[in-house]
Amino acid sequence: MVKSELIESIINKFTQLTAEEVERGVYQILECMSDALSKKRRIEIRGFGSFSLHYRLPHNAHNPRTGEKVISKSKYVPHFKPGKQMRERVIEARLKNIPIVHE
């Protein structure tokens, strides 16, 4: 699902909201989450999962075009850990061989 599909899904579920309200809400939520991660804060959404930053050490790499060996820089990368309810829902759907559908 991409952002536009998420917005469309919410619009279809909550007909009392305008498309503009839903779009602004989704953008605001994503902006708040990005801002929190950029400040190295953890985000936890119970039943869904948590977002945090993982530190990556510098490592040996190569430029795929030239084959030149380089050392990558250390960095923080976003990491998502699904919550228990989400894991169970995915596992249950896979066991039943039912495609996961977001209404």
Report the length, in residues, of the chain. 103
Res. 103: pLDDT tops 60: no
pLDDT digits (tens, 9 = 90+) for 42-86: 999 999 999 999 999 999 999 899 989 999 999 999 999 999 999
Residue 24 has a CB neighbour count (10 Å cut-off) of 13
Q: Is 90 exceeded by the pLDDT of residue 22? A: yes
Question: What whole-number distance in Å separates Cα of residue 43 and Cα of residue 31?
Answer: 13
Percent of the chain, pLDDT > 70? 94
Banded pLDDT at 19 (limits 50, 70, 90): very high
Inter-residue contact 68 to 38 (CB < 8 Å): no
At 24, list the tokens: 């602004």
Mean pLDDT score of the chain: 92
